[in-house]
Amino acid sequence: MTSESEGRDLQVYDPLGLYQPADRSRQPLRARWDPTEADTGRPRSPQRDAKKQSAMGRFVSIYGWRAYALPVLLAVTVFVIVDALRTGPRPVPVDPGFGALSPGVAQSGIIGAPPGDGKFPADLPLGALPEGGVFVERGAGTWHVVPGAGPQVGAGTERVFRYTVEVEDGIDTSAYGGDVAVAKMVETTLANPKSWTKDPKFGFQRIDVGEPDFRLSLTSRESTRAACGFEIPIDSSCYNAGIDRVVLSEARWVRGALAFDGDIGSYRQYLVNHEVGHAIGYHGHQPCETEGGLAPIMMQQTFGTKNNDIAQLDPHGVVPPDGKTCRFNPWPYPRG
């Protein structure tokens, strides 16, 4: 049995020496690498005519899953445009207000004292102090300045307020970071662009020597009640212009408030911003303005973020019992 060179038919001889043609059915199938190349001349079996593909079929075969996604995206786009044209432009969110600025800084009197006449319902839940850490019932009635000073923050085109951070003697602040941590919280709060310095009229500078415009003073429960003018069953803070002291209740600094539905850090920021607001001239309190909106910084959020709750404390005050409820807010300009 012999064979010719590559590319020729295999030649086979039977036992009598007679030539027999090669059996091609036993040879392996061979397929062309490129089915689009020109015909080599080999016979091909007849094929049926291919069914002509529709335009939609060609579109689906070319774009695959995108062919189904594009109509959906087009429909969503049309819906958004129609909705925008129907509802009109959406209102731009604005910061809640904080009342009128007094023409001059108060020189005397207690500003921001608890509402009403000091007589409150015994079962008032929101005025109660939450459970929590230990605070001092009665301090020494004197304060020490926490060392540390900083640069001016805010433009201060009309007024730059110099302030000290002080802690009443007899208060141990180690449980919440020490005196330095208290001063840092106050300083960073007033330096935040969401605080009062967004208004270019105001500037602040922390000092530790010399005479300040006001003293931010962490104060024990009984000393706070004495400085704020009320012997009351609920803890509060205030600004006493007669002694240039922003009185920050240590009981509230440690425990916060049930009505303020935020973390203790946010409540401390609220406490600083609210009482400093009184010190710089925002003497009045504010009600919740917009149902479901952020509470104004000058709302008494220690006692409630619902107008009805505060109206219950002070039926003859500025807050109407209109059923509006706000969300807690520690900043004068919460949107920065």
pLDDT digits (tens, 9 = 90+) for 86-103: 665 555 567 898 888 987
Whether 69 maps to a domain, the answer reads no
pTM above 0.85, yes or no: no
The Cα 180–Cα 186 span in angstroms is: 10
Mean pLDDT of 112-117: 65
Band of residue 314 on the pLDDT scale cut at 50, 70, 90: confident
Domain that residue 307 falls in: 110-313
Is residue 322 included in any domain, yes or no?
no
Q: How far apart are CA 198 and CA 92, in angstroms?
A: 19
> Is residue 2 included in any domain, yes or no?
no
Identify whether 103 is part of a domain: no
Residue 151 lies in a domain: yes
Total domains in the chain come to 1
Question: Could you report the per-residue pLDDT of 144-180, keeping only the tens digit for each?
Answer: 999 999 999 999 999 999 999 999 999 999 999 999 9
Which of the two residues, 66 and 295, has the higher pLDDT score? 295
Q: Does some domain include residue 271?
A: yes
Question: Could you tell me if residue 90 is inside a domain?
Answer: no
Question: How many CB atoms sit inside 10 A of residue 115's CB?
Answer: 23
Q: How far apart are CA 157 and CA 202, in angstroms?
A: 7
30 located within any domain: no
Kindly report the backbone phi and psi dihedral angles of residue 56, in degrees, each rounded to the nearest multiple of 5, phi listed first.
Answer: -65, -40
With 90 as the cut, is the pLDDT of residue 213 above it?
yes
Q: Please compute the mean of the pLDDT values over residues 187-206 and round it to a whole number.
A: 98
CA 249, CA 272: separation in Å to the nearest integer? 11
